[in-house]
């Protein structure tokens, strides 16, 4: 006999209701198995039904820990209803799945050790939670409000992490993702720190008001990393520890290979919006970088391979820098970028180098299809002293710089091809040869000068 959907639903409505089993025994005691009986009906452990009290001012760490361990042993998720819960020294077991109501389910650190740590797990997932470090001190081993280490699949989704006296989130030697979360007010370091991971994705997060860094992707030794940093919004990043660029960056890649940094919106960083130090085969594409305090986008020191394309840069003491051939930095493509208003006073004094260039490069680099407007001193700087080799710059537009293109003519400088660029309003010359800080030629775009066989300057349009 065939039954249609309406008949089927009608039979469900007529079925008897089965009462939920009692949670307590006759003596009023609650056993561990009984605690989970109601949750069994839904497949989720409700932390309130298991005794955790929202709004209680006392520390509930031991009970919360036991709830997590029991649920993980049975591969069940734990639901944390709205409310404030004071806890500390929480160890997330393998197979933790903890979920809450975004913005309302709030774990508050009560101090004396660490806040939340997960280690050596196959799966650890946190979603819809507020993790409030309450600006209380962390022991040195903790390093962050939330730290996950050696987790095969680590997930932090739609969480708010705030008030950490150190880092906000740290994930080490793991795979997984940090997504749709907000990290703010990291008082001792950066918002999100990924260290020696093996396929981490950092996607669509907000990171703001951190004292020393936004999102960091680091390794002890140069090696394959593959972290994706995409679609994040990063703002107001300080450099409380000082220095000349190791702090104060919106996104910082260090010794991590094959990292992709794409589609991020980064504003008001004390140093760089994006800084890659020894990041081999890094891709930095389609980012918006506004009001950087120093160099907006950097690829520097001991890297081999960088693609920097289709970014928008407005403000900074430098635009894009491909630097440190002396230390092995080489091999790049710089294309399709829009760079404006490079005139920000640098955050420290450096009398040995020049400032205010739109793009600078030293070795094995193609620079093509970029538009540079109002870079105060130079539209481009090609080389520094003898550190110049196999650079091509073509089909770029440079407007409103004192000098259109600086090119090194120091002995030992290598092959450089400058062709088919449009340079407008360069009062000190469109293409000028320099010995470090000193201009030593006239405008070679208007009149060729002998004695520089490493240079080809042709077909540039100057007005």
- Integer CA distances (angstroms), 114 to 43, 290, 411, in order: 30, 36, 57
* Distance, CA of 229 to CA of 354 (rounded, Å): 31
- What is the reported pLDDT for 42? 58
Closest by alpha carbon to 375, among 346, 341, 335, 405?
341
CB-CB contact of 216 with 187 (8 Å): no
Mean pLDDT by 10 residues, the chain (463 residues): 42 38 40 45 85 96 98 97 98 98 98 97 97 96 97 98 97 98 95 97 98 97 96 98 95 98 98 97 98 98 97 98 96 98 95 95 98 98 98 98 98 98 98 98 95 97 98
* Distance, CA of 382 to CA of 444 (rounded, Å): 14
Q: What are phi and psi of 347, to 5 degrees?
A: -80, 0
* Distance, CA of 195 to CA of 193 (rounded, Å): 6
* Distance, CA of 43 to CA of 55 (rounded, Å): 25
* Distance, CA of 263 to CA of 254 (rounded, Å): 20
- Tokens 């990290």 -> residue: 183
Identify the three-state secondary structure at position 156: strand
- What is the reported pLDDT for 22? 38
- What is the reported pLDDT for 43? 84
* Distance, CA of 39 to CA of 35 (rounded, Å): 8
* Distance, CA of 303 to CA of 285 (rounded, Å): 17
CA angle 85, 90, 95 (to 5 degrees): 105
Write the DSSP assignment of 266-308 as a string of letters: EEEESS-SEEEES-TTEEEES-EEES-SSEEEEEESS-EEEEE
Q: What are phi and psi of 106, to 5 degrees?
A: -120, 115
- What is the reported pLDDT for 25? 40
């Amino acid at each position: 006999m065939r039954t249609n959907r309406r008949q089927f639903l009608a039979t469900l409505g007529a079925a008897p209701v089965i009462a939920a089993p009692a949670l307590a025994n006759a003596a009023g005691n609650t056993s561990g198995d009984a605690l989970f009986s109601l949750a069994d009906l839904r497949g989720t452990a409700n932390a309130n039904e298991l005794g955790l009290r929202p709004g209680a001012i006392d520390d509930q760490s031991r009970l919360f820990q036991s709830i997590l361990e029991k649920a993980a042993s049975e591969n069940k998720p734990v639901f944390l209803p709205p409310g404030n819960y004071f806890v500390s020294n929480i160890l997330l077991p393998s197979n933790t799945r903890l979920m809450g109501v975004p913005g309302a389910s709030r774990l508050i650190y009560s101090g004396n050790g660490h806040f939340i740590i997960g280690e050596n797990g196959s799966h650890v997932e946190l979603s819809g939670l507020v993790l409030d470090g309450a600006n209380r001190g962390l022991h040195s081993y903790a390093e962050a409000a939330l730290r996950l280490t050696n987790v095969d699949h680590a997930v932090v989704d739609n969480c708010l992490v705030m008030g950490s006296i150190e880092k906000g989130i740290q994930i080490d030697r793991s795979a997984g993702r940090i997504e749709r979360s907000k990290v703010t007010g990291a008082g001792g370091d950066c918002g999100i720190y990924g260290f020696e991971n093996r396929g981490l994705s950092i996607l669509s997060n907000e990171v703001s008001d951190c004292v020393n860094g936004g999102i960091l992707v680091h390794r002890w030794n140069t090696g394959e990393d593959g972290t994706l940093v995409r679609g994040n919004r990063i703002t107001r990043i300080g450099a409380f520890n000082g220095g000349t660029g190791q702090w104060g960056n919106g996104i910082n890649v260090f010794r991590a290979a094959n990292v992709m940094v794409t589609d991020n919106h980064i504003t008001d960083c004390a140093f760089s919006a994006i800084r890659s130090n020894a990041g081999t085969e890094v891709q930095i594409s389609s980012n918006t970088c506004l009001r950087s305090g120093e160099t907006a986008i950097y690829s520097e020191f001991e890297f081999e391979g960088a693609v920097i394309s289709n970014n928008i840069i407005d403000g900074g003491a430098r635009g894009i820098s491909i630097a440190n051939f002396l230390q092995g930095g080489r091999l790049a493509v710089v294309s399709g970028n829009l760079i404006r208003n490079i005139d920000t006073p640098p955050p420290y004094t450096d009398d040995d180098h020049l400032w205010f260039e739109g793009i600078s490069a030293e070795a094995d680099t193609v620079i093509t299809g970029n538009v540079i407007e109002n870079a105060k001193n130079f539209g481009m700087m090609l080389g520094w002293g003898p550190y110049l080799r196999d650079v091509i710059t073509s089909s770029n537009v440079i407007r409103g710089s004192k000098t259109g293109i600086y090119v090194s003519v120091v002995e030992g400088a290598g092959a450089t091809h400058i062709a088919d660029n449009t340079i407008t309003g360069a009062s000190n010359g469109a293409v000028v040869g320099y010995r470090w800080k000193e201009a030593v030629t006239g405008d070679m775009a208007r009149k060729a000068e002998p004695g520089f066989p490493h240079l080809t300057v042709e077909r540039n349009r100057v007005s």
